[in-house]
């Protein structure tokens, strides 16, 4: 079922996602196909994220748990080793390629897809996923240095709660309005590193920290702070590519926070990392080199297998 596609539709070079352009609110009100899509598009434009309640029915969540558990059983040695060494199961990258029961959380999540299709103005595909047994407990950040699409800012975080999330089991944290803040100039950060004789690798802790610290500082100046998102199993959160977000630490160590986040793009949009994001001279191709597969009429990038990260 591998389908190496080169999509001929998709954003043009230099195109900006319409929800970031002047007049976006009016356009959302005018053009949204349904009241629900209008509501969530306005949320994304104004707050930089939206919570879509009750998107995934219990049977899809149960199938996801069963698929996850049997994947763990098939790899019981590796799983036990990870749990022992890391003090818990680390996040799993692209588990959806090994566990087909996870795919409907993306492809049948029609209400969340309708919002993204409308906000992209293109059909939504899945680029990667992260499966969490416990919360990420990750500091506040923007995803853009890891997901530098061409053209820029054509992705969403599509995060599905597989169980209820409250203040004790590691909610998502999001800073409302942070998607509209300036940051340090990423190309200037990269150029400063080059002047010190260093290269710009795809993943660079130093540039990442400099960039995220600059966003944190802008949030402080604008008096914007992080909000914990308490959600119910089956809810889906969609965030803007520039939303500043992270994961709260789990205060009840006995609990889990099962969730999966898909990073979505319009079909055929390539995704680069820091070597393009921080390099003003990079000239990325606008053609995605990936093999896509399809399920229920939706494309997702296919990978060899899932891995711990």
Q: Which residue ranges make up the site for ligand AKG (CB under 6 A)?
A: 130, 132, 135-136, 138, 143, 157, 172, 245, 247, 259, 261
* Spatial contact of 176 and 244, defined as CB atoms under 8 Å apart: no
Identify which of residues 143 and 235 has a Cβ nearer to Fe ion in the complex. 143
Q: Residue 247 binds which entry of ligand AKG, Fe ion, none, with Cβ cut-offs from 5 to 8 Å by kind? A: ligand AKG
Which one of the spans 39-47, 82-90, 136-144, 218-226 is the region binding Fe ion (CB under 5 A)?
Answer: 136-144
Separation of alpha carbons 31 and 33, rounded Å: 6
Identify which of residues 104 and 135 has a Cβ nearer to Fe ion in the complex. 135
**To the nearest whole angstrom, how small is the minimum distance from the Cβ of residue 262 to ligand AKG?**
9
Phi–psi pair at 297, nearest 5 degrees: 80, 10
Terminal Cα distance for the chain, rounded? 27
Rule CB under 5 A: say whether 279 interacts with Fe ion.
Answer: no
User: Structure tokens of 109?
Assistant: 């999540």
Q: Residue 130 binds which entry of Fe ion, ligand AKG, none, with Cβ cut-offs from 5 to 8 Å by kind? A: ligand AKG
Identify which of residues 143 and 210 has a Cβ nearer to Fe ion in the complex. 143
**To the nearest whole angstrom, how small is the minimum distance from the Cβ of residue 143 to Fe ion?**
4
Q: Is 155 exposed, middle or buried (0-12, 13-18, 19+ CB in 10 A)?
A: buried
Q: Residue 108 binds which entry of ligand AKG, Fe ion, none, with Cβ cut-offs from 5 to 8 Å by kind? A: none
Separation of alpha carbons 158 and 90, rounded Å: 20
**To the nearest whole angstrom, how small is the minimum distance from the Cβ of residue 135 to ligand AKG?**
5
Identify which of residues 67 and 247 has a Cβ nearer to ligand AKG in the complex. 247
Identify which of residues 40 and 263 has a Cβ nearer to ligand AKG in the complex. 263
Identify which of residues 113 and 130 has a Cβ nearer to ligand AKG in the complex. 130
Mention every residue, 6+ apart, whose C-beta is less than 8 A from residue 50. 39, 40, 43, 44, 115, 237, 238
Dihedral sign (CA 97, 98, 104, 106): negative
Near Fe ion by CB under 5 A: residue from 98, 101, 143, 152? 143
CB atoms within 10 A of CB 29: 11
Longest dimension (CA), the chain: 55
Site size with Fe ion, rule: CB under 5 A: 1
- In Å, what is the CA distance from 228 to each residue of 12, 129, 166, 172, 249? 36, 22, 8, 6, 11
**To the nearest whole angstrom, how small is the minimum distance from the Cβ of residue 246 to ligand AKG?**
6
By CB under 5 A, name the binding residues for Fe ion.
143
């Amino acid at each position: 079922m591998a389908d190496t596609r080169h999509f001929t539709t998709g954003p043009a070079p230099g195109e900006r996602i319409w929800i970031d352009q002047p007049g976006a609110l009016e356009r959302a009100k005018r053009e949204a196909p349904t009241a629900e899509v209008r509501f969530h598009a306005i949320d994304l434009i104004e707050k930089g994220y939206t919570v879509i309640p009750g998107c995934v029915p219990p049977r899809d969540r149960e199938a996801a748990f069963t698929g996850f558990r049997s994947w763990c059983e098939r790899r019981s040695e590796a799983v036990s080793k990870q749990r022992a060494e890391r003090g818990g199961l680390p996040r799993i990258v692209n588990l959806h390629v090994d566990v087909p029961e996870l795919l409907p959380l993306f492809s049948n999540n029609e209400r969340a897809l309708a919002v993204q299709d409308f906000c992209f103005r293109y059909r939504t595909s899945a680029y990667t996923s992260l499966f969490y047994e416990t919360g990420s407990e990750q500091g506040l950040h923007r995803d853009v240095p890891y997901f530098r699409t061409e053209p820029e800012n054509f992705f969403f975080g599509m995060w599905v709660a597989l169980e209820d999330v409250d203040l004790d089991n590691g909610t998502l944290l999001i800073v409302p309005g942070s998607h509209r803040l300036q940051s340090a100039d990423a190309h200037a950060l990269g150029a400063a590193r080059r002047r010190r004789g260093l290269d710009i690798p795809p993943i660079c802790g130093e540039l990442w920290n400099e960039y995220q610290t600059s966003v944190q500082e802008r949030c402080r100046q604008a008096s914007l702070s992080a909000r914990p998102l308490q959600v119910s199993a089956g809810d889906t959160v969609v965030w803007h590519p520039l939303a500043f977000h992270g994961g709260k630490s789990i205060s009840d160590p006995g609990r889990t926070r099962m969730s999966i986040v898909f990073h979505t793009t319009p079909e055929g949009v390539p995704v680069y990392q820091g070597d393009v994001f921080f390099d003003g001279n990079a000239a990325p191709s606008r053609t995605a080199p990936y093999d896509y597969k399809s399920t229920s009429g939706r494309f997702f990038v296919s990978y060899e297998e899932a891995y711990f990260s």
